[in-house]
Structure 1
């Protein structure tokens, strides 16, 4: 007698996955840079030298100079000449008082006095150093202001975008069990 056979067919379950990866998009705008420069400044102030020439003593030696100075020299010179004349007259009087000595006669005392009375010198003394030259110089005034650079930077944050990926899970094949009986010939 034949044994009946039972077939069992099994189909496994198959799960399908469809995926797309996520994407990052990163961009960063350029920073904005502002540069402001103040230029340097140099100022130089200079004064021209001062030349002073004083030739008043040269003019005094040449023509007497100013009237006031000339009158002062005449006045002081006349005083000196007057004192010298008095001294000469006193000397002559002293010699005349000793008329009995040889050489003290009236002719010798007064006859030898032939020098004219001079007028005082109205001019100043002559010299190679009568002109005074004076030069006054001043150092220049120098002002310097250094240059300044001002840098302003405005930074921009990065822009990050993320696009999510896809994940699709599905049943590609379902599990199944199939029982197949064998054919039975049953004769009755």
Structure 2
């Protein structure tokens, strides 16, 4: 016996998708900066050093003296020699007065005047050591520094942001079908 048959054939639907991706852009511009460094204020105060040199004694030692001092020295030396001459003549006169008691007075006076006195030999440093006097007052230096703070101006720039949304659209690539056949 033949039974009636029912045949069903189906075709699946095919769905296609059109996808456009979203686009996003972000740019961060650099910050705008202005930096200024003012120069430090530098204040220097100096006091000059003072050097005093007194070489008057050294000049005297080598015979370089001024006219007033030279005249005074020559007058003193002349006075001294004159007094020595007077004393010598007084002494010789006294010896001559005593000629009656002293028979060798004339040869003794002659001997005193003809033979000079012995001088000591030695080394003299001209000018004498320590005759130049030095006095020094050192210089003074005062330094004052005033630092200046830097001037910083910074401006932050906002990010540049761009966004294009994506799209998804469906397309039916194949429609579904159902075929039913009835066979007896």
Instruction: State the TM-score, normalizing by the size of structure 2.
Output: 0.46
Structure with the larger RCO, 1 or 2 (CA within 8 Å, 6+ apart) = 2
Instruction: State the TM-score, normalizing by the size of structure 1.
Output: 0.45
